[in-house]
Homo-oligomer: A and B are copies of this chain.
Amino acid sequence: MKAIIQRVTKASVSVGEEQISSIGRGLCVLLGISIEDTQKDVDYMVRKILNLRLFEDENGRAWSKSVMDQEYEVLCVSQFTLQCILKGNKPDFHAAMSAELAQPFYNNILEHMRTTYKPEMIKDGQFGAYMQIHIQNDGPVTIELVSPSAPTDPRQLSKQEKLQQRKEKTRSKGPSESGRDRATPRPRGQDPNASSGADGDVSSEREP
C-alpha cells in the first residue's frame, strides 16, 4: 500500500456541485491499495499515518507532534492511480486492487483508523465517484509512505528476485486464487482499468 500524506490547513471533497466532506487542519491522505496488500499493511499504514510527527509543538519545534497529539482531522481518499506501473508514458493499473475487493478493504482501513483515533476525526471521500479534492497543502509538507510488503519497482529488483518473479509467473499460468500474478489476466469485473466503479472512476475517465 502506498499513501501520499499532505499536511493541510484545510481540505474537502466535492462530487458534482456538492461538498460531501471537509476537514480543517490535519492530514489529507491519498491511499493506493495494491493487489498484494494484507491486514499487515493496514496495521502498519494506520499506525504510521496517525503517529507520524508532521506538526510542530506549542514552542514551534518542528516535526514533534502527530495528528492525534494535536487533535487534528484526517481526510482519507482511496486513490488506485498510486498503484501505477508505467508502460512508456501510459499508466497501467493492474497492480491496484480491484474495486470489488478494494472497497471493503478500504472501509476496513477507515474503521481501523476510527477505532484507533476518534470516529469523528476521520473523514472520507465517496468510493468510486468522480471527485474534486480541494487540498490546501500547508508548507508544503508531503510524505510518501509505503507499507513493508509493497511490491518493489521492477527496475530496482535484484537478479535473484527477478528470477523468483519469473518462476512464480510460470507457475501460475493456470487459474490463480492469490491475485498476485500481474501477468494473469483477471476477470473483467476485477479489472481496475474497467469502468466498474473503482475509486475515482467515471466511465468517461476509463478505457473502453
Binding site for B on A (CB under 8 A): 2, 4, 6, 9, 30, 32, 48, 51-54, 56, 60-63, 66, 77, 79, 81-82, 84, 86, 89-91, 125, 130-144, 146, 148, 152-153, 155-156, 158, 160-161, 200, 204-208
Residues of B within 8 A of A135 (CB): 6, 133-137
Residues of B within 8 A of A204 (CB): 56, 60, 62
Identify A200's interface contact among B48, B140, B208, CB under 8 A.
Answer: B140
Q: How many copies does the complex hold?
A: 2
Tell me the nearest residue of chain B to A51, going by C-beta. Answer: B89
Residues of B within 8 A of A138 (CB): 132
Identify A153's interface contact among B61, B66, B146, B155, CB under 8 A.
Answer: B146
Seed contacts A63-B91, A133-B136, A134-B137; 20 additional CB < 8 Å A-B pairs = A30-B140, A32-B142, A52-B86, A61-B207, A81-B140, A81-B141, A82-B142, A125-B140, A130-B139, A132-B138, A133-B135, A135-B137, A139-B200, A140-B200, A141-B200, A152-B152, A152-B153, A156-B156, A158-B160, A158-B161
Beta-carbon contact of A144 and B56 below 8 Å: no
Instruction: Please judge, given known A-B contacts A132-B137, A158-B161, whether A53 and B89 are in contact too, CB under 8 Å.
Output: yes
Residues of B within 8 A of A136 (CB): 132-135
User: In whole angstroms, how far apart are the Cα atoms of A138 and B82 in the complex?
Assistant: 14
Beta-carbon contact of B160 and A61 below 8 Å: no
Beta-carbon contact of B61 and A208 below 8 Å: yes
Tell me the nearest residue of chain B to A47, going by C-beta. Answer: B89
